[in-house]
A = this chain, B = another copy of it.
Amino acid sequence: MEAIRLKDYTIYVGPLQQSLRGFLEGLSYSALFVIADDNTEEHCLPFLEEALGHSRHHLIRIPPGEEHKNLGTCQQIWAQLMEQRAGRDALVLNLGGGVIGDMGGFCAATFKRGVRFIQIPTTLLSQVDASIGGKLGIDFRQVKNSIGLFQDPLGVFIDPAFLETLPRRELRSGYAEIIKHSLIADAGQWEVLQQLQRLDQAGWEALIIPSLRIKKKVVEADPFEKGLRKALNFGHTIGHAIEGFALETERPLLHGEAVAIGMACEAFLSAREVGLPENDMERIAGYVVQHYGHEALDPGNYEAYLNLMGNDKKNEGQRINFSLINPVGQAVINQYCPPELIIESLEFYNSLTGL
């Protein structure tokens, strides 16, 4: 059992049964709610129930997938909390990936002006990304996480056993954030990742813990994303736009798959705007294609991508703001890039197919 202590809560990495039961015994609450979707109900709830022992809980079931991370689903969650007469001293356990953590946390933090919640992230992505930072939220009008707030959970419980039930695509989606953490803040870890040839050979616990420590360092220096924390947006300005667009098509991309493409594009921007050496740009782009394959971007959609970037919440006013890197392991925030250069970066990514 590894415990990563943040300012206001602790992340426990290890079997749920060893960590969660004792934690709950130390808390007082009037009722316990578990938010899960069809997938986590089937694959993860049995583990959780074992850890809960005899504690009774109400299950709130929501449909799975990013397309349900919206106000409609929030209303279902709030309505069930209300119907079960949840008091302000209830406790909510969010059992799932980023969608459940973000949305379940948002619903808890706004129900009766704030019910306590615990995050039990079940995907690699949510384990390495959403478990630190207190960012909660939902999508609104196709713009990801445009409604939300910052609120820390009581605790986060990461059980690597959950990863065994994950599809390969889910794992590589989460791995994109592990790559990103190394690129923005730990060049040594980036060299470690270079050794990993195939994701199915990864020892996840050993990759998750250093990644969490990097994110902890960045977030604690800037809890409300006023400056430094923007480093975490590397790959995300373009990645979010590609993800948001793909969500509406028949070929949706997972978050990390889109962010991987975004990192390749933004490595190009880093080379052009802040002097990242060309060979680092090539290594990053090559590594993305090695692990994620190549997803051609239709030039007919470039304009739509740019529009989605314009409404990305991280852009103050109407400028399009990037968090770039130079050298590897160090972020350079607040870099404005003109639309033409952004399009060049998309073309750079498209050119990688011949690598």
Contacts and interface: CB of A to CB of B under 8 A. Distances in A.
A147 interface: yes
Interface string A81-93: 0100101110000
Contact of A318 (B82, B85, B314, B316): B85
Interface size class of chain A, counting residues whose CB lies under 8 Å from the partner chain: 35 or more
Contacts of A47: none
Nearest to A319: B87
B143 A82 contact: yes
A223 B48 CA distance: 34
Interface stretch (A50-58, A110-118, A200-208, A243-251): A110-118
Q: What is the copy number of this chain in the assembly? A: 2
Contacts of A78: 140-141, 146-147
B317 A89 contact: yes
A147 B114 contact: no
A316 B149 contact: no
Interface string A309-326: 011011111100000000
A113 B145 contact: yes
Interface string A19-43: 0000000000011000000000000
Given A113-B137, A114-B224, A316-B30, A146 B82 contact: yes
A129 to B, nearest CB: 15
A79 interface: yes
Contact of A315 (B87, B140, B311, B315): B87
A114 B313 CA distance: 10
